[in-house]
Amino acid sequence: MRIGVYVCHCGLNIAGVLDPQDLSEFAGTLPDVEVARDIQFTCSDTGQETIKEDIVEHKLDGVVVAACSPRLHEPTFRKVIADAGMNPFLLEMANIREQCSWVHMEEPARAQEKAKDLIRMAVAKAALLNPLVGEVMPVSQDVLVIGGGVAGIQAALDLADSGLRVYLVERKPTIGGYMALLTDVFPTNDCSICVLAPKMTDVYNHPLITLISYAEILNIEGSVGRFTVSGIKKARFVDESLCKGCINDCAAVCPVEVPDEYQFGLGKRKAIYMPIPQSVPLVVCIDPQACVGCGLCAEACPVDAVKYDQEPEEFKFDVGAIIVATGWKPFDPARKEEFGYGRYKDVITGLQMERLLNAAGPTRGEVVRPSTGEIARSIAFIQCVGSRDHTVGNVYCSRVCCMYALKNAQLVKEKDPDADITIHYIDMRAGGEGYEEFYERAQRLGINFVRGRVSEVQEVDGGLVLTYEDTLLGRFRNSRYDLVCLSTGLEANSDADVVGNILGLAKRPDGFFEIAHPKMRPVEAHIDGVFIAGCASGPKEIQVSIAQGGAAAAKALRLLSRGELALDPVTAMVDTDKCIGCKLCVEICPSKAISVERTAMVDEASCKGCGTCAAACPVDAIDMRLFSDEQILAQVRAATATKREYPFIVGFLCNWCSYAGADLAGTSRIQYPPNMRVIRVMCVGRVDPSFVIEALRNGADGVLISGCRLGECHYDKGNYQAYQRVQVLRGVLEAVGVNPKRVKIIWCAASEGEILAKEMRTFVDELKEIGSIGDELKGGSA
Amino acid sequence: MNEFTKEVLRLAGDEVKTCIQCGTCSASCPTAHLMDNSIRKLVKFVLEGMKDEALNSRSIWLCTSCLACTVRCPRGIRPMAVVSALKQIYEAEGMRNRDSIHEEIFNRHIKERGRVSEFFLSAEYMLRNPQSAAQIISFGAELIPRGKIDIEIRPDSIEGRDEVKRIFEELGGA
């Protein structure tokens, strides 16, 4: 190997603490180093030119830049060496600024020794680097949108308007979702279906959208850019191409009546029915459970569209990306027995109230008491039914119930200004544009607000009596109402479990699908090429669901617009001779990138390069590009070559959180003792126990492993994997006579430079107490 | 909404309905520590139609009209106006207590003479509240020889008393 080493002064940022000239002279003595220089500003044009000239003149096949963090300038220097004709992956950086000169300003001599070790480690890795080529893969530009609620509709329209073909798969006979069933919607009280129906029609008429309604997805194979989707379109027993959507001719003659699920049990429908008047597609559907097969509808149909012998149809197509917009399901308030839902007729849910208020609903917009059919003059709304409630397992706030209760209360009050309406709440939450104003409007209309959760509802002499404490007055009270509306919360849609399992989507403890980052990646799933929009990832109002539908469409478009994907070459690779096909890697891979037939195979398009599989493989058959066992072990040996510190620590920091946190300690000039030599890994899940053992065997007094905080791993659960492995390893170490406290695992976010520094100080003290590793390992067989 | 609530809203403003019970008014009140029911609670009594609780609160007589509550209310409500409304309704209902009597005398003196005479105010108040007077009369007697009480023969008046009277009449105050 012919390696060039460039030590940066970075003005005085590095040179103010370290001696770059001494460092470059030291680098010149290392094996494989052809040329070593110190440069004022390596990232400047002159610095870049120097490297390029050296590459040509000295025929370099490896470059080490000892300067700032690779998280800052690795892309810069990769481009520099690529410009000079080298493979960009033959670069290694030694972080002597953020993790050395800036954090050991009071101890320049020890910092200088640390910098030498960091350069020795970088050169050792550089000597083992291989050229890597990221492959380019052609992709399908079609997109599957699962779920035809408002989020899915928006995603489909945005994609199709951008020129991509969209398959919109909906399990119900019509698209529109829950929004199509609501009456007016907050905060402007415009009619829900009036604003949604045009979008539904646009979906139906769009030449680039294939709408597959009344269908189920049965399987999805493949990965980003080339998913193969298959499923089944259920039999409607009506020919979609013939039905004219006249509604009444068939349903009018049907003798069977069943509760109408689109009225939430408040009305009836026939066995042959149009789900809602604005259904898209505008085609009736026969409920096979209800139909008695009398044949009257077939006789009545003027176009002979009824087909009793219709069979389910299979479908199959390829797409490049998938948007999951599977929505939510309402909380079943019968689970809160104290509120009497199901027992008392006049206790209804928020969705039933929507239907009562809806001009197209079962009462044509009159809010009546279901028990008598009389207009309800006093109405109580009980908030947080099924939300913020550990007893039903829903800890979260459903986010929309305060607003829809305010809205429904306003609608009643507008119809009947003398109606006595009270909202019983825990907290009123009206966070959103125009929402607080909406709350104030409700107050001005004379709607009463009582803070305090209702403990129970009882039917007394034909009225409903609520028992509660008015917590603002500090008094226990009973109040009587004609009608009680339970503001039921939103739950994860269990109907979406099948799709979630097929795709391997992670779920949060609240049951909704987990997004790739709780803040920074709100519409991306952990799986490449899969996006999540709307209530599938948690309760949301219509406005936010639409925004997410659009955002997911933009993400899919960004992914597929070029028709090809450049693959990151930092992936896992399997030595098929060694692989025993145990499938441990399949279980562990967060990206579902590994499959096993006889031996394991890595789908490089899906692999994100965390390396958890490589660390887990019981026969070392999996290795990582750019972070191979050989390369990391070489870094460990180079780190422990001189050990001019006591205690001496080798650190493994994950790229996304802890390494970034260590960089932040640098930019914040948080000082900590220079005892640790850091090896960067993509994820702590990559840390193979053999790396730790190698460090201890070579005389490190301690090993610190630092990953993302639990629940925040960039690769979902790599930090949990690392934690388990460390626990096992500690047991092994103890068995061979090594103090298990020498191996420590911590969690540190990218924003927690102070925590990393504090942990460093603590660990140094702890190791001083334990003492030098001395002979602890030499006698053992580990 | 009962008649009492409607009347307070008429006097103090319809926006009282938008109260969110945050407690800023009570926390800003310099005499809150002396009150039986905080201003926040008075507003709640009003909105709940709890007339007896509201009118029998001593708090309404402890208000110094400093307006801190009104300056700070995030909803733009005037809690002090609620207190004033309660005082008015109290008196209109023919209810009396020593605090309302003091206020009544105070107002009348201003209305009639444009200023308050400490001597006559105290004297009249004591006459109408012999029980309260008994507790402080010896203390008052001690103050006289020290010249702390200005014993007037005839109450002082200002010029332009008619103007003051007109202000009261135009504002409809007591």
Q: Are residues B55 and B115 in the same domain?
A: no
Q: Are residues A319 and A174 in the same domain?
A: yes
Domain span at residue B140? 98-171
Q: Are residues B56 and B121 in the same domain?
A: no
Contacts of A769-775 with CB under 8 Å at 24 or more apart are: A770/A701, A770/A702, A770/A739, A770/A741, A770/A742, A772/A646, A772/A647, A772/A701, A773/A696, A773/A699, A773/A700, A773/A701, A773/A738, A773/A742
Of A236, A267, A434, A404, nearest to A330 by C-alpha is: A404
Q: How confident is the model at residue A368 (pLDDT cuts 50, 70, 90)?
A: very high
| Predicted confidence (pLDDT) at residue A781 exceeds the cutoff of 60 | no
| Predicted confidence (pLDDT) at residue A782 exceeds the cutoff of 70 | no
Task: Calculate mean pLDDT across residues A50-73.
Answer: 96
pLDDT at res. A134: 83
Does A428 map to a domain?
Answer: yes
| Predicted confidence (pLDDT) at residue A70 exceeds the cutoff of 80 | yes
Q: A383, A423 in Cβ contact below 8 A?
A: yes
pLDDT at res. B174: 46
Does A614 map to a domain?
Answer: no
Q: Are residues A32 and A91 in the same domain?
A: yes
**Most confident of the ranges A84-93, A713-722, A771-780:** A84-93
Does A193 map to a domain?
Answer: yes
Q: Are residues A523 and A633 in the same domain?
A: no
Q: How confident is the prediction for chain A on average, in pLDDT? A: 95
pLDDT at res. A338: 95
Identity of the residue in B18, B21, B47 whose CB atom sits nearest the CB atom of A440? B18
Per-residue burial over A69-78, b if 16 or more Cβ lie within 10 Å, else e, is bbbbbbebbb
Does A247 map to a domain?
Answer: yes
Q: Are residues B113 and B88 in the same domain?
A: no
Q: Are residues A109 and A141 in the same domain?
A: no
Please enumerate in sequence order all residues whose Cβ is within 8 A of that of A54, keeping only pairs 6 or more positions apart, or say none: A4, A35, A37, A60
Residues from chain A that touch B40, judged by Cβ atoms under 8 A, are: 472
Q: B17, A444 in Cβ contact below 8 A?
A: yes
Does A615 map to a domain?
Answer: no
Largest CA distance in chain B: 57
CA distance A439 to chain B (A): 9
First to last CA, chain B: 27
Q: What is the per-residue pLDDT across B28-84, written as a single tens digit (0 to 9) for each? A: 999 999 999 999 999 999 999 999 999 999 999 999 999 999 999 999 999 999 999
| Predicted confidence (pLDDT) at residue A780 exceeds the cutoff of 70 | no
Q: Are residues B71 and B106 in the same domain?
A: no
DSSP state of A376: P
How many distinct structural domains can be found in chain A?
6
Q: What is the per-residue pLDDT across A750-776, written as a single tens digit (0 to 9) for each? A: 888 999 999 999 999 999 999 999 867
Q: Are residues A299 and A422 in the same domain?
A: no
Q: Are residues B19 and B81 in the same domain?
A: yes
How many distinct structural domains can be found in chain B?
2
Q: Are residues B32 and B71 in the same domain?
A: yes
Q: What is the per-residue pLDDT across B83-137, written as a single tens digit (0 to 9) for each? A: 999 999 999 999 999 889 998 899 899 988 888 888 888 889 888 888 877 777 8
CA pair distance A195, A189, nearest whole angstrom: 11
Q: What is the per-residue pLDDT across A421-473, written as a single tens digit (0 to 9) for each? A: 999 999 999 999 999 999 999 999 999 999 999 999 999 999 999 999 999 99
Q: Are residues A689 and A761 in the same domain?
A: yes
CATH number of residue B74's parent domain: 1.10.1060.10
Q: What is the per-residue pLDDT across A561-596, written as a single tens digit (0 to 9) for each? A: 999 998 889 999 999 999 999 999 999 998 889 999
Write down which residue in B57, B92, B127 finishes a domain.
Answer: B92
Side chain identity at A57, as an amino acid letter? Answer: E
CATH number of residue A412's parent domain: 3.50.50.60
Strands (E), A244-308: 257-259, 268-270, 272-273, 285-286
Name residue, tokens 């505008």.
A282
Does A620 map to a domain?
Answer: no
Q: Which of residues 448-477 of A touch B (CB under 8 A)?
A: 448, 451, 470, 472-473
Residue A779 burial (C-beta neighbours within 10 Å; 0-12, 13-18, 19+):
exposed
CA pair distance A755, A766, nearest whole angstrom: 16
Q: Are residues B120 and B167 in the same domain?
A: yes
Q: A11, A41 in Cβ contact below 8 A?
A: yes
Distance of alpha carbon A771 from the chain centroid: 44
CATH number of residue A112's parent domain: 3.40.50
CATH number of residue A580's parent domain: 3.30.70
Q: How confident is the model at residue B173 (pLDDT cuts 50, 70, 90)?
A: low
Predicted structure pTM score: 0.78
Q: Are residues B74 and B7 in the same domain?
A: yes
- Greater pLDDT, A407 or A504: A407
Name residue, tokens 């939430």.
A264
Write down which residue in A67, A100, A132 finishes a domain.
Answer: A132
| Predicted confidence (pLDDT) at residue A406 exceeds the cutoff of 60 | yes
* A437 inside 8 A of chain B by CB: no
Interface test with A, best of B20, B25, B45, B77 (most A CBs within 10 A): B20
| Predicted confidence (pLDDT) at residue A663 exceeds the cutoff of 70 | yes
String of DSSP letters for A619-639:
T--EEESSS-HHHHHHHHHHH
Strand partners, B27: none
Q: Are residues A362 and A442 in the same domain?
A: yes
Task: Give the range among A150-154, A342-346, B168-172 with minimum mean pLDDT.
Answer: B168-172
Q: What is the per-residue pLDDT across A633-661, written as a single tens digit (0 to 9) for each? A: 999 999 999 999 999 999 999 998 899 99
Q: Are residues A123 and A144 in the same domain?
A: no
Q: Are residues A223 and A317 in the same domain?
A: yes
Whether the ipTM is more than 0.85: the answer is no
Q: Are residues B87 and B7 in the same domain?
A: yes
Identity of the residue in B15, B17, B19 whose CB atom sits nearest the CB atom of A446? B17
Q: A670, A105 in Cβ contact below 8 A?
A: no
pLDDT at res. A778: 59
Residues from chain A that touch B15, judged by Cβ atoms under 8 A, are: 444
Q: Are residues A418 and A539 in the same domain?
A: no
CA pair distance B73, B79, nearest whole angstrom: 8
pLDDT at res. A350: 97
3-state SS assignment for residue A704: strand
Domain span at residue A72? 1-132
Does A621 map to a domain?
Answer: no
Q: Are residues A692 and A545 in the same domain?
A: no
| Predicted confidence (pLDDT) at residue B27 exceeds the cutoff of 80 | yes
Residues from chain A that touch B18, judged by Cβ atoms under 8 A, are: 440, 443-444
Radius of gyration of chain A from Cα atoms? 32
Strands (E), A77-164: 91-95, 136-138, 143-146
